[in-house]
Amino acid sequence: MPFYNEEEILRTSINAFIQKLENLKSKDLVSSDSFLVFIDDGSVDSSFEILHSFINTNNIIALKLSKNVGHQNALLAGLEYVCDKCDCAISIDCDLEQDINKIDEFLYCFRNGCDIVFGVRNNRKSDGLFKKASAILFYTLMNIFGVKIIKNHADYRLLSAKALRFLSEFKEVNLFLRGIFLEMGLKSAIVYFDVKQRECGKSKYSLSKMLSLALNGITSFSTAPLRMIFILGFLIAICSGIFGIYGLAVAIFSDSVVPGWASIVIPVYFLGGIQILSLGIIGEYLGKIYKESKSRPRYFIDKVIISKKLKVVSD
């Protein structure tokens, strides 16, 4: 569970997760060594202190990242950390919007041989208008650009040790987690759940974080925008060819040619727009290659605190 500045809800959610873990243990769905991992994504409020007060009396591991690196990277830090420490791991947000009681079903699927279980929300009734509209836009764009993605699946999912190992093979810096699991070719299942409204605290996904996630999703999995520039450029080249021949013919065969303002200015504006748009898209990919070529670390784990109750886990 990655979290960022969640002091309003963290106490409630840690208690809920501890209770759920005990419940799963009592049903023998997970081993008694099972543990919770919280990743503090560089919170600047009292979230980490709240978490700290729970550690030693519960099966909890706390990872504190040195700065805010965003939900996806924080989640990755947690998944990479547990990769060789578990049979399977379930990722979930810490705001209790996702129904934690569905974890039982996730585990049944795992026991039936699934390596990945995707939690998919039944509907978006609890979302505000902005979230609904941005989700529609996001999935439409993904569809247009041919990115394979499970609709309404966020990062509530189970991954087996094998899937976690496969994940560690993906070395890209701009990791779009929701897109890569379908690429693995592992046996998967879907579990549907109802979304609850956040009891307290605000969404930590700002508009800019959401836009960056969407752009990352498209440019990480699709080169369709580059192909579209090529097609657009090709069509414009044909049109300008025809226009050029027409202009030449008029200039040669007619002697009443008055050069028009519109015919000069409109193509200038139009082509200027297309060129800038195209450069922007190319720049987007170039920026990605630039970042990938530097292969910078995606996060820094500043501190690892392991509960004394957990003897089987070594950091």
The Cα 42–Cα 90 span in angstroms is: 21
Residue 166 touches ligand UDP, criterion: CB under 6 A: no
Does position 217 bind ligand UDP by CB under 6 A?
Answer: no
Q: Which of 36, 20, 18 is nearest to 81 (CA)?
A: 36
Closest CA to 193 of 122, 104, 127: 122
**Shortest approach of ligand UDP to residue 309 CB, angstroms?**
24
Asked whether position 41 contacts Mg ion by CB under 5 A, the answer is: no
Could you tell me the smallest distance in angstroms from the CB atom of residue 265 to ligand UDP? Answer: 45
- Residue with smaller CB distance to ligand UDP, 137 or 282: 137
Examine residue 99 and tell whether it contacts Mg ion (CB under 5 A): no
The entry of Mg ion, ligand UDP, none near residue 71 (CB within 5 to 8 angstroms by kind) is ligand UDP
82 — phi, psi (to 5°)? -85, -5
199: DSSP letter: S
Q: Where are the beta strands (DSSP E) in 270-311?
A: 301-306
Q: How many chain residues are in contact with ligand UDP, going by CB under 6 A?
A: 16
Taking contact as CB under 6 A, which single stretch among the options 24-32, 94-102, 117-125, 213-221 is the one that binds ligand UDP?
Answer: 94-102
Q: Is 97 in the site for Mg ion (CB under 5 A)?
A: yes
Asked if 38 interacts with ligand UDP (CB under 6 A), we say no
Give the Cα separation of 266 and 271 in Å (integer): 8
d(CA 197, CA 176): 25
Longest dimension (CA), the chain: 95
Choose the one of Mg ion, ligand UDP, none that binds residue 94, judging by a C-beta under 5 to 8 angstroms depending on kind. Answer: ligand UDP
Answer for which of 12, 34, 58, 68 binds ligand UDP (CB under 6 A) is 68
Does 99 bind ligand UDP (CB under 6 A)? Our answer is no
- Distance of closest approach, residue 58 Cβ to Mg ion, in angstroms: 23
Cα-flanking dihedrals φ and ψ of residue 29, to 5°? -85, -25
Q: Per-residue b/e over 13-22, b at no fewer than 16 CB within 10 Å?
A: bbeebbebbe
Answer with the entry of ligand UDP, Mg ion, none that 3 interacts with (C-beta below 5 to 8 A by kind): ligand UDP
Query: Residue 156 binds which entry of ligand UDP, Mg ion, none, with Cβ cut-offs from 5 to 8 Å by kind?
Result: none
Query: What phi and psi values does residue 160 have, to the nearest 5 degrees?
Result: -75, 170
Classified as helix, coil or strand, 157 is strand
- The one of ligand UDP, Mg ion, none whose footprint includes residue 105, by CB under 5 to 8 A per kind, is none
Residue 218 binds ligand UDP, judged by CB under 6 A: no
140 close to 61: Cβ distance less than 8 angstroms? no
Task: State the binding partner of 6 from ligand UDP, Mg ion, none, CB within 5 to 8 A by kind.
Answer: ligand UDP
> To the nearest whole angstrom, how small is the minimum distance from the Cβ of residue 5 to Mg ion?
13
CA distances from 269 to 15, 95, 226, 243 (A): 60, 48, 22, 16
Q: Does 71 engage in binding with ligand UDP (CB under 6 A)?
A: yes
Residues that bind Mg ion (CB under 5 A): 93, 95, 97
Residues that bind ligand UDP (CB under 6 A): 2-4, 6, 41, 68, 70-71, 74, 93-95, 97, 203-205
